[in-house]
Amino acid sequence: VSGNDSDALRPVKGMRDFYPADLRKRAWIFDLWRRVALSYGYEEYDACVLESEELFVRKAGDEVTEQLFNFVDKGGRRVSLRPEVTPSLVRMLRAAGSEVSYPARWFSIPQCFRYERAQKGRKREHYQWNMDIVGLATPAAEIELMSAQASFLRAAGLVVGGATSQVVFRVSNRQVLEHFLGELGITGDDFVATCILMDKRDKVAADYIVGELVARGVSADSARRILALLDVRGLPALRDAVGEQNPGYRALSELCALGAESGIGETLSVDLSVVRGLSYYTGTVWELFSTTGSVGRAIAGGGRYDRLMETLGGAPTPMVGFGFGDVVISLLLEELKLVPALPARVDDVVYPMKAAYFGTAARLAAALRADDRSVLVELSERRFKHVLKRVGELGAARLFVLGEDEMASGAAKVMFTDGTRREEVVALSSLVPGFQAP
Ligand code: HAM
């Protein structure tokens, strides 16, 4: 490392450092995620952040495949930092075979890497809360997953549902397009590629998409009808557009009915513009958006992927789940002032006034820690005023002072910070097992 402007002295582009105050915020979110997932009966798993590149290489212009953070390792293997955890989940389940009983409910909070253009709400690294249900084909699985997302949002202080709802689940189903396109002769990989193309619709001109579709053999008229389909909102309009027999329409009707019975109906909004940039989705797809704040990006995204297990060589297994990143939700919670004050905290401070008392201080702290207290030993030898200020900042309940008088009599002065300014002198032999007074 040489010079102040060396790249080595900055985080790599798109990566974040977490200073303690940042990490407390992150931990607050992770803790809510974990508590919600556990409260729904999900088991936590993880895989390695480094995987074989091949696990993520999917055809048809998949968004994630194009953004791999990949390289060749010293052994000549093509590897990649994981852009998402879903393929690792499928790989693990396939390897475990019958050792895992279905339906399985698993969750994870992986760090994921995507080599994409950094912008508001987008980094090249993020943490992503995932919950997935394995082995259930019923839309009750989707509703459970959305309910869990809603539980987290409420726990974080957002209004979910009702006239003032701050979030909305935009839901669609790929079978709507699949059957619509099937009638136009676009099937299999061409269908998947068309989905990915449609997902880019906000970023490119409509004429470009029409041109691409025409290049795939669709008439210009049909291409425009396909594009118009993405503007459909709500079940009645969808029925008018594709007919009651469309399996995607039927699945969405069932999903919305169940959502209403389950208490999250009013946050669901049928929105055909949601296609998602990942190629493996086969049925329901949804994205979570906020209705307030300045971040226009999806907070979370999920969907049903009933064929990925087969694609990776396993037995057919219905799967559905979501990924919920930490970046967008953090921006939103900050904007809405919902992040609580999260100061550094300890239970007790031990203050040896001279270096000669450090050993005794260490033994006292160890005894208090054995009682499940978090204890900071103030080793600065600084003045009492300074120490009192630190005690206040750390919100410590007690300050144990080891001064000359106390040490001479084998005691500690205990000062309580509960506003009473109560003090008492306590024999160290009653606090520290085996302590011999001088
Ligand atoms: P995804 O939509 O690609 O889905 O990502 C899910 C969420 O991760 C996004 O909504 C966003 O919150 C966050 N995210 C993704 N990329 C970035 C980025 N570059 N910077 C910041 N946040 C980001 C998936 O990854 C699927 N594997 C989710 C899933 C699980 N589907 C089924 N099970």
Nearest to 186, CA basis, from 162, 206, 215, 155: 215
Over range 147-152, report the average pLDDT: 98
Minimal-distance CA residue to ligand 1 atom 24 = 323
The pLDDT value recorded for residue 118 is 80
339 burial via Cβ count (<10 Å: 0-12, 13-18, 19+): middle
Kindly give the pairing relationship between strand 167-173 and strand 268-270: parallel
Question: What are 384's two structure tokens?
Answer: 């009492």
Report yes or no: 368 and 397 within 8 Å, Cβ to Cβ: no
Q: What is the pLDDT of residues 165-183, one digit of tens each?
A: 999 999 999 999 999 888 8
Q: What is the pLDDT of residues 85-120, one digit of tens each?
A: 999 999 999 999 999 999 999 999 999 999 998 888
Q: Is the pLDDT of residue 296 over 90?
A: no
Q: Is the pLDDT of residue 32 over 80?
A: yes
Ligand 1 atom closest to the Cα of residue 325 is 12
Ligand 1 atom closest to the Cα of residue 288 is 10
- Give the distance (Å) from ligand 1 centre to CA of residue 128: 7
- Give the distance (Å) from ligand 1 centre to CA of residue 35: 20
C-alpha to C-alpha distance for 183 and 175, rounded to whole angstroms: 12
- Taking the alpha carbons of 206, 210, 213, 218 in that order, is the dihedral positive or negative? positive
Over range 136-153, report the average pLDDT: 98
What is this structure's pTM? 0.94
C-alpha to C-alpha distance for 4 and 17, rounded to whole angstroms: 18
Confidence of residue 3 (pLDDT cuts 50, 70, 90): low
The pLDDT value recorded for residue 60 is 67
Minimal-distance CA residue to ligand 1 atom 10 = 300
The pLDDT value recorded for residue 7 is 87
Q: What is the pLDDT of residues 334-375, one digit of tens each?
A: 999 999 999 999 999 999 999 999 999 999 999 999 999 999
Kindly give the pairing relationship between strand 398-402 and strand 375-377: unpaired
- Contact 274 CB / ligand 1 (< 6 Å): no
Over range 296-301, report the average pLDDT: 93
The pLDDT value recorded for residue 189 is 86
The pLDDT value recorded for residue 206 is 85
